[in-house]
Amino acid sequence: MECGHYSGMGAGRQLAWVLAVGKVGFSAIRKTCLALPGAQHFIKINAQITQCYPQNMLRRTKRGFSFMLNSRFALYCLPVTPTNFDFHCHSSVSDGLLSPSEVARRAAANGVDLWALTDHDDLGGLAVARAEAEEAGMGFVNGVEISIEWNKAPIHIVGLGFDATHPALVSGLDDLRQGRVERARRMGEALAAIGIPGVYEGALTYAANPSLISRAHFARYLVSIGIAKDVSGVFQHYLTPGKPGYVDHRWATLPDAVGWISAAGGVAVVAHPARYKLLSNGDMRRFLGDFKDLGGRAIEIVCGSHSPDHVLHYARLARHFAFHASRGSDFHGPEESYVDLGRLPQLPEDLKPVWRLIA
Ligand code: AMP
Ligand code: MN
Ligand code: MN
Ligand code: MN
């Protein structure tokens, strides 16, 4: 089976093609399509069968049978631009499963040419990540993902290209981590109250960095003791608002996060905007307005949790607010992430990539 992208399709959606000859199942074609760079956000296979043997198999194809074919298949995906930058991912310094060096090597092996490690509320992996990136011939930008709260909604702000020794940033993140430890203890108490004891201690055994304890560590421990079959099941039933292991917490504020990042010479970026289900469309616009007024300059457009419709929607908002655009997998580990490092569609071509703002 051969496959590739059609070139020169411009901004928006782009076609890729698959040429399959012989007896090929529909699922094999779909798998090949999805293996193409940029095709993770698969919309549909638009089967353009140019020849088909025997002819009557064409009708069966429409009903989803496997079939004999000599035909071209096309799928929509986002356009390809030259830089494979990935500015959002995690290591074991926060809630990722791989060490900073392992994440760096995986990014390089996946063809990332410009990379940022963005652990939650912690800068501890940056020095090793930079050294490893240099070794692998990959550009590196300091990164962090800061947990904030705006109008009671938890939101994440990515900081890029800052001085990692800046005192305001360093001490702000120290406070955030301290708050995490307190929150984790309260989560443990809340879970004990429904008959699941020892979860704080159990979660700590999953945290390589005990000062950065996250709901993800709780989820992994709860899976290990059979409370749910996977991490997303634990989140759904225990760790999201209204569920027994979720406790309210005061994170940093929007002015804190944007202020720390800007003071340290970096660029503030809104992480995965489509994930904030608590915000209405109007709230999102107000939030983006506040973010811009405070000095925020960019927004993630293409990321691990955005569908093609999200990309189009937030691209429109980026144009409206004159934000630069970021792109990041939000990779946490091979078993836990849908999108691997660097394996993302490209940004819509008319948007300004955020790396242009970083010296
Ligand atoms: P925390 O910062 O401690 O509140 O934990 C948030 C982290 O948990 C996110 O960064 C994700 O890594 C993970 N997470 C949040 N929601 C889910 C979910 N529904 N399924 C799996 N992981 C999730
Ligand atoms: Mn995370
Ligand atoms: Mn996040
Ligand atoms: Mn993240």
CA 217 to chain centroid = 18
Torsion of CA 174, 291, 126, 232, to 10 degrees: 80
Rounded CA separation 353/346 (Å): 10
Q: Which ligand 1 atom minimizes the distance to the CA of 214?
A: 3
Beta-carbon count within 10 A of 289 CB: 12
Mean pLDDT is lowest, of 32-41, 61-70, 179-188, 206-215, for 61-70
Beta-carbon count within 10 A of 74 CB: 17
Distances (CA, A) of 243 to 197, 236, 240, 275: 16, 8, 6, 18
Rounded CA separation 68/28 (Å): 12
Percent of the chain at pLDDT above 70? Answer: 77
Q: What is the pLDDT of residue 37?
A: 60
Concatenated DSSP letters of 40-69: SS---EEEEEEE-SSTTHHHHHHTT--EEE
Which of 90, 183, 235 is the best mutation target for the ligand 1 pocket, counting ligand atoms within 8 Å of the beta carbon and taking the most?
Answer: 235
Name the pLDDT band for 18 (thresholds 50, 70, 90). low
Q: Does the pLDDT at position 156 exceed 50?
A: yes
C-beta 272 within 6 A of ligand 1? no
Distances (CA, A) of 318 to 51, 80, 354: 43, 19, 11
Percent of the chain at pLDDT above 90? Answer: 74
Rounded CA separation 5/14 (Å): 8
Q: Does the pLDDT at position 138 exceed 50?
A: yes
**What mean pLDDT do residues 289-307 have?**
97
Name the pLDDT band for 335 (thresholds 50, 70, 90). confident
Q: What is the pLDDT of residue 107?
A: 97
Please confirm whether the linkage preceding 54 is cis (ω < 30° from 0): yes
2 membership: H or E segment, kind and range:
strand 2-5
**What mean pLDDT do residues 254-273 have?**
98
C-beta 235 within 6 A of ligand 1? yes
Query: Which residues make up the environment of ion ligand 2, defined by Cβ < 5 Å?
Result: 95
Mean pLDDT is lowest, of 69-78, 246-255, 277-286, for 69-78
C-beta 330 within 6 A of ligand 1? no
Q: What is the pLDDT of residue 31?
A: 72
CB-based burial, 233-256: b 16+ in 10 Å, e otherwise: ebbeebbeeeeebebeeebbebeb
Please indicate whether residue 32 or residue 104 has the higher confidence score (pLDDT): 104
Q: Output the residue whose Cα is nearest ligand 1's atom 6.
A: 215
Cα-flanking dihedrals φ and ψ of residue 300, to 5°?
-75, 130
Minimal CA–CA distance to 296: which of 348, 328, 260? 260
pLDDT digit string (tens) for 143-152?
999 999 999 9
Residue 285 Cα to ligand 2 midpoint, Å, equals: 25
Q: Does the pLDDT at position 118 exceed 80?
A: yes
Q: Which ligand 1 atom minimizes the distance to the CA of 145?
A: 10
Q: Does the pLDDT at position 80 exceed 50?
A: no
Mean pLDDT is lowest, of 21-25, 123-127, 280-284, for 21-25
**What mean pLDDT do residues 64-87 have?**
50
Q: Output the residue whose Cα is nearest ligand 1's atom 12.
A: 216
CA 16 to chain centroid = 23
Please indicate whether residue 106 or residue 81 has the higher confidence score (pLDDT): 106
Q: What is the pLDDT of residue 66?
A: 34
Coil, strand or helix at 156? strand
Q: Does the pLDDT at position 254 exceed 80?
A: yes
Q: What is the mean pLDDT of the chain?
A: 85
List, in order of start, the domains of the chain with CATH numbers. 2-77 (no CATH), 85-178+249-357 (3.20.20.140)
Minimal CA–CA distance to 15: which of 27, 30, 23, 4? 4
Concatenated DSSP letters of 284-339: HHHHHHHHHHTT--EEEEEETT--HHHHHHHHHHHHHHT-EEEEE--B--TTT-SS
CA 31 to chain centroid = 22
Q: What is the pLDDT of residue 12?
A: 38
Query: Which residues make up the environment of ion ligand 3, defined by Cβ < 5 Å?
Result: 156, 271
Beta-carbon count within 10 A of 274 CB: 16
Mean pLDDT is lowest, of 66-80, 279-293, 322-336, for 66-80
Minimal CA–CA distance to 351: which of 305, 308, 304, 300? 300
Beta-carbon count within 10 A of 285 CB: 14
Q: What is the pLDDT of residue 17?
A: 57
Name the pLDDT band for 30 (thresholds 50, 70, 90). low
Q: What is the pLDDT of residue 52?
A: 42
Q: Does the pLDDT at position 20 exceed 90?
A: no
Name the pLDDT band for 346 (thresholds 50, 70, 90). confident
**What mean pLDDT do residues 37-53 have?**
46
Name the pLDDT band for 247 (thresholds 50, 70, 90). very high
Name the pLDDT band for 2 (thresholds 50, 70, 90). low
Instruction: Supply 284's token pair.
Output: 């999102």
Rounded CA separation 93/102 (Å): 12
